[in-house]
Every structure is written in structure tokens, then in C-alpha cells.
A and B are shown apart, each in its own frame.
Chain A
Amino acid sequence: MVRVLGYFRDGKNFAEPVGEIELDADTEARIAELGISRRGLLTSLAGMASLMALPQSIIPAMAQTVVSPKKPSVVYMSFQECTGCLESMVNSFAFRGGASIENLLLNIISLDYQETLMAAAGAQAEEQLANATATPNGYVLVVDGSIPQIANSGFFVSGGRSGVERFRAAAQNALAIVPVGTCASFGGLPKADPNPTGAVSIRTLMTQLGISKPLINVPGCPPIPEVITGTILYYLTKGLPSLDSLKRPKIYYGETVHDECYREEYFEDGPRVAVFDDKAARFGGCLIDMGCKGPVTHNACSTIKWNQGVSFPMMAGHGCIGCAEPDFWDRLNINGKKGFYQRLAPGSFDD
């Protein structure tokens, strides 16, 4: 029996027992041929399925995907970014032997282009990019960072090409496009007022360029690592997940951070934190008066949590700054006042 830890709720791990998993003969043969641990692989996949709240019946299909003779190719390109998204992805784990980055890179996907990790540089990197993007519908294109809308502005050039043209070329043959992080999903920090470089999101740029491809936004500044890897794995196994109007997977972004926060209990009747480190803060009271944007922010911070489930912003005493929402640098405020410590206007959200 493969036993997997699922969501953390109420400070407790709930263990989801996973029964014996039957795989088709081809998949079993591939596992043997590759010499990888069957148990290790299934535990890992069960962990991913659990995080996505998917039934264990999906595990055989996931196994089939990841041991296929040709691993799915992922091309990861960076534009106006800070590398925080990649740092986050490298922290991916998925509870107890899940899709750790090592596992992901060695066994699950072929990361054919990623500038921060790849061995090749310069001409060899460019050649690698050309090879990796040559086959129609041959790869998932992951993008972090926004892109300056005007190609010849000089605000983004890499390998002698503008962000616009670099993206256009890479998008051409992509199976699907996964903007990772709030910059790629919605424009993020570069697009914050007054948007000095004319930065736009990937979705906006695709409209401008007339590129029509399946698109899954994975916002967050940065996104939770398991949300990044889980989204990629879900797409490779089952195709497009159910998306909301902002193209976010509902499995991760369906609820607000407030909905699942353990401090939500104290929203109505207190205790509420009035000053950092006050009595209510030490108790773990509601942070709404400290400007918490949890009630209007859709993300999985309070369920999956961060860094192997050890904490999340409110658990460590600071309100949510809303980092997975479009234009959170400017929009989540009251009375025209911007600010992470400005209280949300009463009535501006459903409790």
C-alpha cells in the first residue's frame, strides 16, 4: 500500500491511504526497462494527485505519461522577471517523495530550455532553443516575466532578439502556453503604475500577435511550487484543467486565501491584530485590520502552504498582499489609497 500525505488542514496532516495501483503491461515494462523504483514513482504521483484533489484513479494515466519512451518536452523562457518563479519551482516537493525538482527533471519532463539551470550558453543555448522548438505541438511553453509590448524599445533583448519576437518564435509550435507568476500572467511588477517599459502579460501579447493556443495562467509572486509543477503535470496527463475567467486552474485558484485560512475564525468576533506583535498577533488573530488581502485573493497558500507545508504568510504574522491577483500592486486598495497595510473596504468582498 502506498500511503501519501495530503493537504494540511487545521494544522494536521491528513493521510490519504492509496490502495494497490494497477498499471498496464506497457507501463510496467517501461518502469522495469528504465530501472526506476515503481514504488517511488507511484508515491510521487499519488502525492501530486492528492495536491490537485484528484482521485487516485488518475495515477495510472500519470504513470503512463511520465514513463513514455519520449518524455514530454518543456521549454521555459524568461523575460522581464526576477527569477523568483524559478527559485520557487526548484523548491517543489509535493509532500513525501513527490515531484521534487530532481524527480521532475530526471524522470517526468525533459526540460529542454531554461536559462538559469541549463548547461549550454550563448550560441549553444540558442541552438538548443531552436532544436527544442522545431517540432509542431512538440512542447509545453512555460514563460515567466512580462514582455515590453514595443519590440524595438530596447527594454528587453536577448540573443539579439526582442522579447516580442523571441516569444512569437517560441510560441509558434507550442502545444500549450503556461505563463508562470503574476508578471507573465497579468503583467505584474513591471506593469505596475506607471508601467515604465510598456510591459504586458503573455495573454495580452498573444492577442496582439494573433497567437491562439491553449493558455493556463499560474499567477503568484511567486506561485506555490507544487502549483507550478502540478499544473504542468495535470496538463500533460489530462489536458486543460477547468479554468476560471482569468485562465487560472480552479483546482488551485478556486477559493480565496481567506476561505481556507485558520485565522478566518476570528474575522467576525476577533481577536484581530491591531499592531504587529500585540496580544492578538501572538495568539494568531485575524489580520484584516492590518490590510490583509486574503478575502479577495485566489490562491492555495492556506491549504498547500509554503516550503513543504511549514507556513504561509498569515501563519507567520503578515497579511496577504494579494500577489496572485491582476494588478495587485495598484488595485487592491480603498478610497484610491494604494498599500498593503490599507484595510479592504467593508463590503468589497464576500466573507
Chain B
Amino acid sequence: MTDPNVIIDPVTRIEGHLRIQAYATPAGDGGTIGADVLVASTMVRGVEKILQGRDPRDAWAFTQRICGVCTVVHGLTSVRAVEAAANIKVPKNADYIRNMMIGAQYVHDHVMHFYHLHALDWVDVVSALTASSSETAALAVKNNPTYKPNNGALPTAAYFDSIKNALNSGLVSRGQLGFFSNGYWGHPAYKLSPAENLLLLSHYLEALTWAREVVKLHAIFGGKDPHPNVVVGGMPCSISTNTGSISERAGGTSLNTAGLTIAKNAVLKMQQFVDQVYAPDVRLLALRYSDWAKIGKTTGNFLSFGEFPDPTRVKTELTDGAIDYPDGYILPQNVITSPNLKTLVGFDQSKVTENITHSWYSGSDGVHPSAATTDFNYTGPAPDPEISGKPYMLDPAVKYSWIKSPRYNGKAMEVGPLAHILIMYARSLTTKALPTDKLVKYYVDRWWSGSTASGGLGLAYEDLNSTMGRIFCRMLETKIIADQMAGRPAVSAAGVTSFTGWYNQYYANRTGKYFNPTAFAKLASYATLPDKVGFGFTEAPRGALGHWVKISRSTGMIENYQCIVASQWNAGPRDGASPPNPGPYETALMGHKLARLNQPLEVLRTIHSFDPCIGCAVHILDPEGKPLVEVDINHATRC
């Protein structure tokens, strides 16, 4: 093995702890990354082991803490898994609120990912400080004509002067660049003009204020964010009988008039920011960096578990539930296999396996997660070179990561926004097309494939499978979901009528039920629970997320708990096939051309395009060695 000459550790602006090692064939100051690239997670906690023997009603709180960024989706996936195990149905209001909480997480996460985690790969902060304020103001009016951050008015030259002054007085003049220190400023791969850099940097700062406003939705329904409260059997919140302010005398809940107005304003602010700022900014970035639509491709296999059920399809409340109607899922439950990016394939969860050939576990390898028995087995190098006397270096020929490699039908699958958009586009071509699918097709055809003269990017559909395609698809799904929450007008060119939005649908039904009163009683009579494994799933902002739970019929406690998490699909190491199939991160990085080996900005661009969530990706399965025999997938077999 050639010694790696590109090492990024820690990879920053991600969730969790990640190391990248690669060998690049040198050319000048730069080089081209070869096939021995490896991506490794170097932190583990063992959350599933901690869950064993606990009350299944508590599992959501533990699994939320798998990740403070993906908190809502882990909590709700867990709740759905326990509900599936005990055949508990939840009221429509619970599904409306869950949809909005997951939807709010999408919008919040994706916008913050773009501006706070990803933008600095494309935006040169030092260049921004040299921008002409009047040019930037002119650009703002052109790029974001309806966005008025300047006390309700369009930004002016003076407005951008004040932003430059704030950065200069706060950071530059004191010689303390703080979190902007030591970036790759001036790197030849940065291409935006100073005004474009300043415009996006101003949105970086404004998005922080916006984000604090929109997460209030989680606080109204879940009491706080991060880690809002959810519950098995519905939602813990209830409509307030006191519609005015809460007080010690009058009581009340956060679902009073004021609270519901805050939630409504949050969904409207989400929609506005996406339409006015995020969507046009992504299109501007994609236009300037359209060469990145040819870089960062994965093998072309995509997977989605499905998300956002339609509560209006429920026939009899508490007898059936929205989750039982997969045809209505906004994000379909499907697979796409290379090279047929427009053809839907049915999802069959029995084809999922987990591979540990290159992961620091011992136990079963390459079997269905329900049959896997594994435990920690760290065989990597000793850390701390000053003590061990050897450099810390991982070897792609052996075990090198705490992440396991899930495979579908033996193939590595990419999950996340790119998978969602491709699968929705593919469904738009079938008789099962939902209005949201038609909108996806409409916007992809117009904004991505449309000519640059007509405001598009002039890029091929297949080029969505790329670093820039991921960024574009993340933005597009954010728009689809923001509109789904807040409502949207008809788009006749797409053949789509208007939609009132989940918030309004919920509001009209707000005095209805929030919780299934038999839920806890069912779990308390555990001896009569069905003998099955509960499968809970969501499509998290980063992709397919599944939890499996087995509740003991002799104690009522958790016998076994397993998660397969979005970033695990994308960030997992090679598998044990011959030759080994690398994971999507690794595949995407092969062949990357770097301008400077010692400033691997290009690698960060592609890795960040996946939005790594590494705390999520690392977990262990079934250390007690009790195989799970039956998995409930009724919803999966029906679509």
C-alpha cells in the first residue's frame, strides 16, 4: 500500500467524527485520488446495547441522542417501531404534527447545512470582504428580488457596508478570525466574484437568525429543540382549553392561540426563506460551479424507505393509521438501480444485509440485520503517536471504521436527497404520480435541465448523480416539503392544483385526538403482544432510517434494538465481496483532481455534499446474540 498523501482528520463542518485517507497521484502541487481512498468513523458509543432491558416507551429519548442534529427523526422512528411491534395506531393529529416536525427538521437542517456546513467550501470569506457593497446590492436585487432582510426593505449598499463592518470590526481588525481562521482562502478552486461571496456570506449570518425562529415549531409541539418530546401512541401535546396566556391560575398548554400562531409563522417563514433565499442561492452556485455536476458520482443505486404519510387517507381513526398507506408517501418507498435512473423498483427489506468485513466488530457478516450478532472488536492502530511511537494510519485491506456497511441485494446504495428526487421523478412518470412528484419533474426539467438562457443550468438528468446534483436535490426537496407544510398555489404548467398545507389541515382538526389512550395499556399487557419485531422507519433529511425493536413478552422490556441509519448507507466502508464494493463516499471521491494536495478543498466539497452525520452512522447490533426472527413489513410489501 502506498502511504496516503491526502489525510483529512478531523473532517470538520459535519456531525460526528470522520477521517479520510487517500493516495493521490501527484501532478504539480496537486494530484488525482486513486482507488485506495478510505473513509472511517473513529467514535462509538453503543446506544443499542444501552437500550436492552429498558422500557420500550423510553427508547425514543435514547435514540434521539444518537444525533442532536437528526433528533426528531430518530425519536419518531423509534416511536413508530414500538407502535408497529404492539399494533398501536395514532390519531390523525399526531401524524400531522409528526409530519410537520419532520418537515421542519428537513427545512432547518438543509438550509443550515447549505449555509453553515457547506457554503465555506464554495464561498471565499476573504474575497467577500473586498466586495463592492453597491455591486453586491445590485446582485441581491437580481438574485433574491423578493427577500427583504434590511428591516423589511431590499438590502442596499449601506446594508452590505454594515455586514462588512461587522466582520471587519468583529474579526479582522482584532486579528482574531475565530472560526474563519485557517480556511483555504484564496484557493484556486474558489470561483465566485467578491460580490457573490459577500451576498452568500450575508445569507450565512441571516440564516442563523432565521433558524432560531423556525425551530420554535418543535418547541410548541415538543417543548424544546433540540431533543423535543414525542411519545409512543401519538403526541404528548394537547390543544389548550385556555386559549389565552398560560398562568398558574388559568393553566394552559403551548398549543394555545399564541403558540399555534408561532407554529404557523414558522412554516410560513420556512417557505419564504426557501423560495426567496435558499433556492435562488443554490441555483446561482450551481451555475458558477456547473463543472461539479460531472464530479462526485456514485454507482447509481439509490434507496428510500419512504416518508410523510398522508393523514387524510386514514379510514377509521385509531383502527388504521396514515403509516399504513404507503401510496400516499410524499417520498416514495422504492429503489433505483444503475443505469436506469428513471425506473422504480419495489423495495423488499429482506434484501438488506450488513457487512462488517472492514468494520471494528466481531460476529456475523453479510446477513440480514435481524439475524446479525455483533460486538465491539477494535483492531485498528493504537492512537497517540507520541506514546505508541508509530503514526496513526488505517489500512483499507483490513478493518478500519466503526461504521458497518449495509447493502441492498449485495449493492451499495446511496440514500438522501438525491435518492429522494430521483425516485420522485421516476414515480412522476407512472400512474401513481402524486402532485409533489409532478412538481419535482417540473422543477428538475426547468431549473436543472432547462437551458441557461431560460434560467436553467443546461445539465443532463443523469448529471444529478454528482456533487452539485446532491446540493440541487437537497434544495429542491426542501422546497417541496416547505410547500407541503405551508400550502402552495396551483402550478398549471405542471398539472398540479393548489394544496392547503399540513398546518391548515391540522388546524382545522385541532380539537381532535392527539394520543391513543390504549397505547400504554397495550404495552403494559406485554404477555399478549404479537410475537414480532416492530419495524419503524423514516426518510431522514440524510436518507433512509430504520429501527427494529423486539419487546420481551415475559418482561415487557426491550429484548433487542437495532438501527440502520442514513449516513451508514453512505459512509460505510468497503464490504467483503471480491473485489470489495466501496461505500458511496469512497466511490464518489475516486478520481477527484486536487489543485493542492495540502489543501484538499475538492474532497471536502464532495464529502459535505452528502451532509455527513457520523454520530448516527455508528452503532452496534444485538450483542446478546438473539436473532430476530420475524420482521413486520406489512407497509413495505404493499407498495
Contacts and interface: CB of A to CB of B under 8 A. Distances in A.
B182 interface: yes
Interface in A261-285: 262-266, 275-278, 281-285
A317 B517 contact: no
A233 interface: no
B50 A307 contact: no
B173 A162 contact: no
A138 interface: no
Nearest to A284: B251
B231 A196 contact: no
Nearest to A165: B384
Contacts of B598: 123
A282 B253 contact: yes
A160 interface: yes
Question: Which of A81, A83, A126 gathers the greatest number of chain B CB atoms within 10 Å?
Answer: A83
A308 B219 CA distance: 9
B514 A34 contact: no
Interface in A86-142: 86-88, 90-91, 93, 100-102, 105-107, 109-112, 114-128
Contacts of B238: 276-277, 281-282, 317
A316 interface: yes
A188 B615 CA distance: 15
A156 interface: yes
A155 B50 contact: no
B12 interface: yes
Interface stretch (B206-214, B281-289, B409-417): B206-214
A contact face: mostly helix, strand, loop, or mixed = loop
A318 B223 contact: yes
Interface stretch (A19-27, A211-219, A336-344): A336-344
Contacts of A162: 383-384
Given A80-B43, A155-B44, A118 B12 contact: yes
Given A116-B15, A276-B231, A314 B223 contact: yes
A318 B254 CA distance: 11
A90 B461 CA distance: 37
Given A116-B15, A160-B392, A196-B46, A321 B61 contact: yes
> Which bracket fits the contact residues of B?
35 or more
A82 B13 contact: no
Contact of B43 (A158, A265, A301): A158
B240 interface: yes
A328 B593 CA distance: 49
Interface stretch (A48-56, A146-154, A236-244, A246-254): A146-154
Contacts of B378: 153-155
B125 A119 contact: yes
A151 B383 contact: yes
Interface string B365-385: 000000000001010101111
24 contacts: A70-B176, A87-B226, A90-B212, A91-B215, A101-B208, A106-B166, A106-B167, A107-B170, A111-B178, A116-B12, A121-B12, A154-B383, A156-B43, A160-B383, A193-B50, A196-B376, A197-B44, A277-B513, A281-B253, A282-B240, A313-B229, A323-B227, A338-B54, A342-B55
